Amino acid sequence: MSSAHKPWGGRFTESTDAFVEAFTASVDFDQRLAPYDIQGSIAHATMLERIGLLTPKDLEAIVKGLEKIRDEIERGDFHWAVQLEDVHMNIEARLTDRIGDAGKRLHTGRSRNDQVATDVRLYLRAEIDLIRSELVRLQTALIDLAEREADTILPGFTHLQVAQPITFGHHLLAWNEMLERDRERLADCRKRVNVMPLGAAALAGTSYPLDRELTAELLGFSRPSANSLDAVSDRDFAIEFAAAASLIMMHLSRFSEELILWTSAQFGFIDLPDKFCTGSSIMPQKKNPDVPELVRGKSGRVYGHLVGLLTLMKSQPLAYNKDNQEDKEPLFDTVDTLKHCLRAFADMMPHVAPRRAAMLESARKGYATATDLADYLVRKGVPFRDAHEIVGKAVRLGVESGRDLSEIALDELQQFSAHIADDVFEVLTLEGSVAARDIIGGTAPKRVREAAGKARKRLQAA
């Protein structure tokens, strides 16, 4: 196709170089915007008819033509032409082939600049809704498991060293809190996505008396954009989404790291279902946690897209520049990667099998109840710093003799403090330790069940 036959070709005297034509085209990747392009075009045409710039007959032809094109695309029968550059021109050219001059009138009062910005916002709005539903699925699985495991004791770690005993349910709800913040962030991000650029035209608005409020209403946008220059050049909404996606991937990567550790022979805290693992081509005993490992790896991919989008926009003067064509592939891949990772986790977590005996045995190591002994002494009137030193000496005795604090005889403990009495062993049990953390946000089993119930209500209210 020569430049003279392109929609913008009237000003040109020679054909576009074949390499340049392929190099500048975006149709190979932006065709996924087709449903949203058609949705936006139908709304735009409806508005044009309402203000008298299209006849009812033209509107009927445009709507029917676009619906048939949508069917062609869904069936895989649509021919995408690189020579037509992008999704917009491919659909418009096909529409004109179908219905004639009415198809040529569709572009009245708009530009590809505001058209693509609208398409991307419609696409991302729909994807945010899907992603939030996947988050709800994963959160529900975590809450269900947390309720079942509210009494299951495992060691809590700091610096990957045994710190204090906690419950498995409490640990799972920590993950849920991260995801709840992620879900809230996406809801907030969606508000800024849900602003309509259509009507900004190329950069300055248009001389046609467009009813932008009507178009926004037809497309479900909260409002039209306030400034035409900003509307066509803004990609903050995509960057904000990529930042929210990066946080979600960071959280999933943290979950993955723990699942990978917990499935190892050195921990042995959980079993993952076989269908989420793979084996080794040479070592028959291996069961590799490939899903968590891949999710952990894909976090870097999403981070890279965030940095790429920030870099894409950092030097652009107003208004639209061809650079912005480069926003789609990183945005699309971010959406796909995030959805797939969330789906994998939401499918996998309901089938995680805790190995409770291994968790309990591990919690007995590392003197996890040392803080409980210090708190016991404080309640007996010993200043905390003195109590800290006393317990440190008791731990040293345990290390030297290979015994847990609960295994050290009363008279041996009393050599470190006269305040220690025979009731001390009530606080040195793992069960007593977790039950004592009976405050809001604590690891006591009843608090875990209470927190799980509140978390479930939040999801149901969303």
- Dihedral class, residue 155 (left if φ above 0, else alpha if ψ from -120 to 50, else beta): beta
Query: DSSP secondary-structure letter at 405?
Result: G
**Active site annotation includes 280:** yes
Query: DSSP secondary-structure letter at 80?
Result: P
CB atoms within 10 A of CB 134: 20
Determine the Cα–Cα distance for residues 359 and 409; give it in Å rounded to an integer. 25
Query: DSSP secondary-structure letter at 366?
Result: T
Type of residue numbered 301:
R
Give the HSE-up count for residue 28: Cα atoms under 13 Å, Cβ half-sphere. 8
Query: DSSP secondary-structure letter at 100?
Result: T
Core vs surface per residue 61-89: b (16+ CB within 10 A) or e? bbbebbeebbebbeeeebebebbbbbbbb
Catalytic residue among 2, 222, 264, 280: 280
Closest by Cα among 193, 324, 176, 140 to 254: 176
Give Cα separations from 307 to 114, 205, 238, 264, 434 (angstroms).
Answer: 25, 31, 12, 34, 43
Say if residues 147 and 169 touch (Cβ distance below 8 Å). Answer: yes
**E-only strand ranges, 8-149:** none
**Active site annotation includes 159:** yes
Closest by Cα among 461, 437, 462 to 169: 437
Integer-rounded Cα radius of gyration of the chain = 31
Determine the Cα–Cα distance for residues 57 and 196; give it in Å rounded to an integer. 27
Query: Tokens in use for 405?
Result: 């604090």
Closest by Cα among 98, 105, 79 to 27: 79
Catalytic residue among 159, 207, 281, 315: 159
Determine the Cα–Cα distance for residues 263 and 286; give it in Å rounded to an integer. 11
Whether the upstream peptide bond of residue 226 has omega within 30° of 0, thus cis, is no
Say if residues 455 and 180 touch (Cβ distance below 8 Å). Answer: yes
Active site residues: 159, 280
